[in-house]
Amino acid sequence: MMWSEIVSDWSQAITTLVKRFPKLDQSTLPTAPTNSDDFVDYLAHTHDLTPLEAREELRDWMTIQGLARDAGADVRAGYPASSL
């Protein structure tokens, strides 16, 4: 999954992101940041992560979302339904 895909469907993405990263505040992100670096900084700040850790967490989430979308899987909170 690419950042542009997240931006294009921000309302769905932020809902799923908040499930994975519960300290995100949807009210402070009514629209998607134009680049992932801004979001990584926000994620790092809200979740007490280093920028590198936040980037890795976001990349992992994006990979899971992309794989699930491609497989047609039901995904909640960033994890395949079979693992819940």
Per the structure, the complete domain to which residue 68 belongs is given by 3-83
Tell me how far apart the alpha carbons of residues 52 and 67 are, in angstroms, rounded to a whole number: 22
Quote the tokens at residue 84.
């819940």
Overall number of domains in the chain: 1
Judge whether 25 and 46 are in contact, CB under 8 Å: yes
For residues 45-67, give the mean pLDDT.
95
Structure confidence by residue, pLDDT tens digits, 58-84: 999 999 998 888 887 555 555 555 544
Question: pTM for the full model?
Answer: 0.79
Tell me how far apart the alpha carbons of residues 68 and 80 are, in angstroms, rounded to a whole number: 7
